[in-house]
A and B are shown apart, each in its own frame.
Chain A
Amino acid sequence: MGREGITAAAATCALLVLAGCARPAWTDPANSRDRRDLPAAPQTRRPAPILAEPLPPAPAWARGLIGRPLRSVFRRNGVCLGQTERVERLYTGRPAGLAVRGWGWDVASGRPVARVVLVDDDLRIVGAGEGGYPRPKLPRLAPAVTDPRAGWSARTGTASGTLRVYGVVAQGAQVCPLGQVEL
């Protein structure tokens, strides 16, 4: 093994030397010659309007679902394109709550998501909503979306934690994730 052993040992030593690679100097912010700080863009999005009204009731189809574990109702996953955009409005009446908006597209049927459910950190259904809201720019941004009425709005009495949104598809047999929002 003489020649092969020497070659292997030399390669090993070279690699051990290389193992001391330091981070390049350009990764250190202190070495930057650019301006030190630049401000972020001003926030153009208005805060969610606050309404001194009670939270509207959940849609009739969803009232029996509130409080139930998601997977006890919807065991299978569908496939959607979509996004949860933001908290849309706050309700300060009794009961209090908030509305969330976004958009959703059912890939299997090629149609907008018609119903959504909101789920908390424990994967329990805590709210619901419906689709059909106009998003005129959406087909240009997402070519697979051929109907601009892919927006949805959903409501919940939950005020904290992570709110996960699922579209209800396949005639109510499946759900597909549509994003989440931190409250």
Chain B
Amino acid sequence: MARDRRTAGSQARLGGRPRWLLSTGLAAAATALVCWPAWPGYMSFDSLLAYEQGLHGVYTMLWPPLHAYLFALSQAAGAQAWGLFLVQTFAIFFGANLSINLFARDARWAAALCLAFMASFVYVPGQMGVLFAHWRDVTTASFALLGLAAWLVAAHYRQLPLLLPAAAAFGAAVALRYNALPLVAFLLASMIWRPLLQPRPSGAARAAAAAAVVLSLGLAWASTHWRAPDLLRMPATENLAITQAFDLIGISACADRDLLPPSLNGQAPMSGMQIRQNYDPRHLNLSLAAKPGVRPFGRGKPDEIAQAWPSAVAREPGCYLAHRAAVFVEQMGLGRGEVFYPTHGGIDANPYGLALAHPKAAAWVNAYVARNAPEPWRRPILLYGAALAIGLAAAWRRRDLAGLFLAILAGAFAYVAALFVAAPAADARYIFPSNTLCALLIVLGVGVLAGEPRPPRR
């Protein structure tokens, strides 16, 4: 694979340069600001499970194992949990900064846009709160932004081989969450269609890009079926049953009658009131949790749940949509109440000696997130509205790069659209990757629409 000579002259021009020092310096500053108060990174049950599997080996594919492998690398480097925390945080800002610099002709304008991207995490406190935690959602966003930046670098230098790291980064993003493919699917398709963002790429260039994408997605898929390093074929998991259980409870609550399988209603019918007393659209676990004076649900068996789900949806399709909409409202921070679970706030009890290094600073930032996340003008949904308007406008203004802007936009919206039907809960972190893509698109779009100051003539 070599430089694509045939179309080099007519290539879409990004206009800027990578400005490696500027991109790295600003990313390092942002990383320091984020990582210091939350050092070595907040850890919930999911985080500690991945950490444990990093230490002792993967034993379940209920969560995609790449997070555990990344912890294993961090542990092998002597960096326990903080190594991954540093890298995933740095990667988000470095990836964004590179992309921004590649669009901006002027270094000062690029720096301003980079700072605006950083500021988005403060303005939408849920973004900052999620960034403090060892959640796969952050790592997904890290790799997605690295993939985008690597692709733009490949286009800038007109080097097809640089598509390999781009594809690898996108593949890693897909490997980290079972629902992550929509986030980068449009970007991958764009990368295949116009590998170096040139108007008329050669067939060989497209084939090379497609091969890189197929390889990376294949490895992502394989990572969730065979564990490393012994390549043991892992048993299938029952992730779908978790969402289906949530749906059955929500449908029953909406329909005001029991549509639950015996294992979920404790082998005896429940009343609509009892189901509503338990139902919480924010999280399946909140619905299942025992409540004083309220008859609880049963544990639920995956095979019974899978059998009951289609008939319940067929009988009450309106209630299915109503339940999904109720969850989605909480997910997008559209509810009148608080944004659900914008940060974890600390490190759960663990046998690894992991504890907050700066608890007072952590308490301060946690209070900032808790106080400001519920404000209506700081909800994550605003990122989508702004990204839609600005992204479309930027695509109109720069029609040579419209495919790129629309791919970012489509990925963000497709990601949350998939969550509409698939989410077993409404944690704020679930939309972190798409929020981050929206924030980047807003900044890139503003850069395109506002027009940057021309560099002075020499």
Contact = CB atoms under 8 A, between A and B. Distances in A.
Contacts of A14: 385
B334 A18 contact: yes
The contact size tier of chain A is: 35 or more
Contacts of A7: 389, 393
A21 B335 contact: yes
B376 A38 contact: no
Contact of B232 (A1, A71, A107, A141): A107
Interface string B356-390: 00000000000000000000110101101110111
A71 B53 CA distance: 12
Interface stretch (B11-19, B162-170, B250-258): B250-258
A33 B272 contact: yes
Nearest to B295: A40
Contacts of A15: 379, 381-382, 384-385
Interface residues of B, number: 55
Interface string A92-134: 0000000000000001100000000000001100000000000
A116 B198 CA distance: 61
Contacts of A76: 56-57
Nearest to B442: A8
B234 A11 contact: no
A38 B274 contact: yes
B59 to A, nearest CB: 4
B268 A39 contact: yes
Interface stretch (A22-30, A58-66, A154-162): A22-30
A123 B351 contact: yes
Interface in B164-217: none
B267 interface: yes
Given A34-B271, A41-B267, 6 more contacts: A19-B334, A33-B272, A36-B271, A37-B274, A38-B295, A107-B233
B328 to A, nearest CB: 10
A96 B271 CA distance: 43
A79 B58 CA distance: 8
B227 interface: yes
A141 B302 CA distance: 11
B454 interface: no
A144 interface: yes
B285 to A, nearest CB: 16
B268 A27 contact: no
A16 B232 contact: no
Contacts of A176: 59
